[in-house]
Amino acid sequence: MNAIGVSNMVDVMIVGSGPAGLSCAIEARKAGLSCIILEQGGVADAIRRFPTNLVWFSTAELLEVGGVPFVVPTTRPTRMDTMNYYQRVVHHFHLEIRTSCRVSAAQRMGSGFEVKTDSGESFQGRTVILATGYFDHPNRIGVSGEDLPHVFHYYDEPFRYHGTDVIVVGGRNSAVEAALDLYRHGARVTLVHRGVKLSEGVKYWILPDIENRIKQEQIRGLFGVTVERIAPGCVALRTPEGTKEVKADFVFILVGFNPDTELLTSFGIRLDPETLAPCTNQETLETNIPGLFVAGSVVAGKNNNKIFVENGRLHAFQIIPAVQQRLGEGLS
């Protein structure tokens, strides 16, 4: 497919190249629509930044897009398997993607939309699909020291932390899995959670593992406890017995993510004040702005445990027929 010039207006402009965005682009191509994807990182960039040793709970066919078989030698694909697959899909369908292209501003224009990027480029589309996910906006706990260099909001791999004291903050899957991985690679791990017990959403096959590690004191579990402040080498914790300092060479704050509300509202999208979910037509996923759609986990706002790759990739089959209808009607 020939590159799309900056001055040309495409039928569909997609922001985000995760599975939902790729699926929308593929279905747009199959429908004969011109399409470009704008991606602030690389292809499927959020998955690229997942923990390096990640293995999906889902089987490969539940991650497929565009009808392209996802074949792996094991039952469940790894992060690397998945990255290779989505990159092959891009080449298979000759999708036009501008990577390292962060959208910084948006406006409605006569017959469509215009977006500008951090580099100063401008792109136009008759319709827009926002498939931005939520992985770029981790929740913060708002304490002193949260931005120190030994404090992280993402977990990558365990090997750097062998033989060190690590505090993991959180009580859901990301925190639990990181705590277990760090422990098994030689870190001394303390899991800190404000709840009196782990989240009920922790995967059922992981829950007995973390509970047994805590019971056997292989991982220290502190519940009903919050972080008061972070300093080099230690964390002050607010406990029922008062403030206590715990040694910490590294701190992982893994307490979930939020959607990019700034980008959504820059387009004029109304958000639910409680969930931050975009207001949409549930059948078409069109927002309150005609011709502007959302796809993937961003649809659920803060409730991002409701939409995963497995169901978010299917949004394309709701959106693209509605896009075709919008294009037929005109947007002016």
End-to-end CA distance of the chain: 29
Task: Give the pTM.
Answer: 0.87
Beta-strand pair 97-98/35-38? parallel
Query: Tell me: the pLDDT tens digits for 44-60?
Result: 999 999 998 888 988 99
Tell me whether residue 292 is in a domain.
Answer: yes
Domain stop point among 253, 273, 294: 253
What's the total number of domains in the chain? 2
Boundary of a domain, candidates 253, 287, 308: 253
Q: According to the model, what pLDDT value does residue 110 have?
A: 81
Q: Looking at the structure, tell me whether residues 132 and 14 fall in a common domain.
A: yes
Judge if 47 and 132 occupy the same domain: yes
Final residue belonging to a domain, choices 230, 253, 276: 253
pLDDT (0 to 100) of residue 331: 56
Answer for the pair 136, 260: CB distance below 8 angstroms, yes or no. Answer: yes
Domain coverage including residue 198: 151-253
In contact, 55 and 77? CB cutoff 8 Å: yes
- Check whether residue 174 and residue 162 sit in a common domain: yes
Question: Is residue 85 located within the same domain as residue 113?
Answer: yes
Report pLDDT digits (tens) over 127-150: 999 999 888 889 999 999 999 999
Which DSSP symbol is given to 39? -
CATH number at residue 178: 3.50.50.60
Tell me the helix, strand and coil percentages in the chain, rounded to 5. Answer: 25, 25, 45
13 with 132, same domain: the answer is: yes
In a domain? residue 4: no
**Residues 133 and 262 both lie in one domain:** yes
Q: What's the pLDDT score for residue 205? A: 87
pLDDT of res. 4: 42
Whether residues 169 and 274 fall in one domain: no
The segments of the chain whose pLDDT lies below 50 read 1-6, 332
